[in-house]
Structure 1
Amino acid sequence: MPSDVEYSPVGEGLGMRDYWLYVWLRRAAVIAAHVTGLGLTLIISLLSRPGTSLFSWHPVCMSVAYCLCMTEGILLFSAEGSPFCFKSRKCKVRLHWFCQALVLIAAVTGLGFMLASKNVSELPHLVTWHSWLGISTLVATVLQAACGICLIFPKLLRLSSPLRLKLYHATCGLLVYLLATVTVVSAMFSDWFQATVKGMAWWGFLLLPLFPALVVMNQITNAYLPRKKITS
């Protein structure tokens, strides 16, 4: 069975004027996603006041991992609005590895600060939906990274269908990113965040992580959504 998959081209069936409008809207959306991810990370870091407690480093590390590094690691493959749009595919892949490595380092560090904070305060672990979602996200991130490592060495691992594995890697990456987004949103229902941010500002924070998620979902589905599978 051949492993080739034909992908639906972006903007197929659009007129020239509609196509350029579509491209510019996508470009604006990608730029806004970059700004949103960076802005959310900076604001959460400021609200956390890192250094005031062990726990204060947890939101900083996790926002750097998932709001910034994971978002940038995916959006750098976008053809519109990415600061790395002029780089070669090989360079983008290497930057993607680097960003995802930072995701793992920052996420594990953030988990360590949370565990240390809980132990010092003698509080129980894994008692909230956010904690369970966080652990699930971290496990999924590690598994996704392992899949990415397999794509780095397809010949060494004797993979029979690296193109199909690449498709699965992108699809699972989208699921991991959406799970991370749900985890970030659930953090905004925590006692710490609700005590720090109140009123209309809280609703604004609640919606912010959803925008980059929509842009990432649109990017991956446009790039990897199969139009027709060639089967024997």
Structure 2
Amino acid sequence: MSTEDNLNMRPRKEMTGNVKYLNIAVLSILLGVSAYIIIRVVNDKGVVLFTYHPTFIILGYLILMSNAILIMSDNHFLTKHLSYHQRITAHWIVQASALTLILIAQACIFTNKINFNKPHLQTTHSLFGICTVSLTILSAMDGISAKYSYHLRNFIKPALSKLMHILLGVSSYTLAIITIILGFNQLWNSEGDVIIKSIIIILLVFSGFYVLIKTLLLLPSRIKNVLSN
């Protein structure tokens, strides 16, 4: 059995009560923040084409992608009991659903700008957004390579393929959090929004760090594994 297999099939520790409650708390925070942003956007803009962009982006990244990462980092209380291969299946199904919503969101904002004859990529939010979506697409494409890494081993080492998928995934998720923050910061400009924006930023940074922490802790061993082979 290779070092990569050992990393994937390592014995799983039981999730303690405190860890489980923290897991539930973070997922609840993401759900609550997502609900607030979506309700706020709908309330401010109404149900128009533009509204679907932030709504699907929020659902795609904060809800679906967060859960997809937690599933594969073996840090999700709902899938903790699943085997490694079962978690892979759950991961790509949730990830594919997230990507579908994200692409629809991009199509909506692109069409909306065309309808109102507005220029594209004129704000920091939009520039971060296009980079985020591009990395997300690349991560999904490399995810296919990582899933079938054994069959593609003559073209690319499985360990390298999986490492690239992890790096792309971490990068795209981190950029997504930043892009979302830039987005609502751009929309909400009144003085009364200063406190709520600060609270949401703190909650998103904390939750995003929690989602990525286990993956980041395992990253050095995966890099070492690639270099040693």
1:31 to 24, 30, 45: 24
Letter in 2 for 1:38: L
TM-score after normalising by structure 2: 0.82
Taking a change above 3 Å as real, the CA distance of residues 225 and 197 of structure 1, as seen in their structure-2 partners, is farther
Write the mapping of 1:38-117 to structure 2, written as runs, cut at 5 A: 38-49=31-42, 52-117=47-112
Q: Is the 8 A contact 1:69 1:99 kept in 2?
A: yes
The 2-side partners of 1:169 and 1:196 are apart by 41
Is there any run of 5+ residues in structure 2 with no aligned partner, and where?
Answer: none
Write the mapping of 1:92-171 to structure 2, written as runs, cut at 5 A: 92-157=87-152, 158-171=154-167
The 2-side partners of 1:224 and 1:165 are apart by 13
**2:211 is the counterpart of 1:216:** yes
Deviates more, 1:221-230 or 1:131-140: 221-230
Structure-2 residue corresponding to 1:206 = 201
Q: What RMSD over aligned residues (CA atoms) do the two structures have, in Å?
A: 2.9
The 1-side partners of 2:49 and 2:56 are apart by 12
Q: When the two structures are aligned, how many residues end up with a matched partner?
A: 218
TM-score after normalising by structure 1: 0.81
> Tell me, what secondary structure is at the counterpart of 2:99?
helix
The 2-side partners of 1:135 and 1:212 are apart by 23
Letter in 2 for 1:129: T
Taking a change above 3 Å as real, the CA distance of residues 132 and 27 of structure 1, as seen in their structure-2 partners, is same
Is there any run of 5+ residues in structure 1 with no aligned partner, and where?
Answer: 11-18
Deviates more, 1:117-126 or 1:26-35: 26-35
Q: CA deviation at 1:216?
A: 2.2
> Can you list the C-alpha shifts for 1:131-171, whole angstroms capped at 9, x where unaligned?
00000000000101111111222344334421232123223
Q: Which has the higher helix share?
A: 2
> Tell me, what secondary structure is at the counterpart of 1:201?
helix
Q: Is the 8 A contact 1:47 1:196 kept in 2?
A: no
Taking a change above 3 Å as real, the CA distance of residues 197 and 71 of structure 1, as seen in their structure-2 partners, is farther
The 2-side partners of 1:80 and 1:141 are apart by 21
Taking a change above 3 Å as real, the CA distance of residues 108 and 81 of structure 1, as seen in their structure-2 partners, is closer
The 1-side partners of 2:84 and 2:96 are apart by 18
What percent of counterpart residues are identical? 24
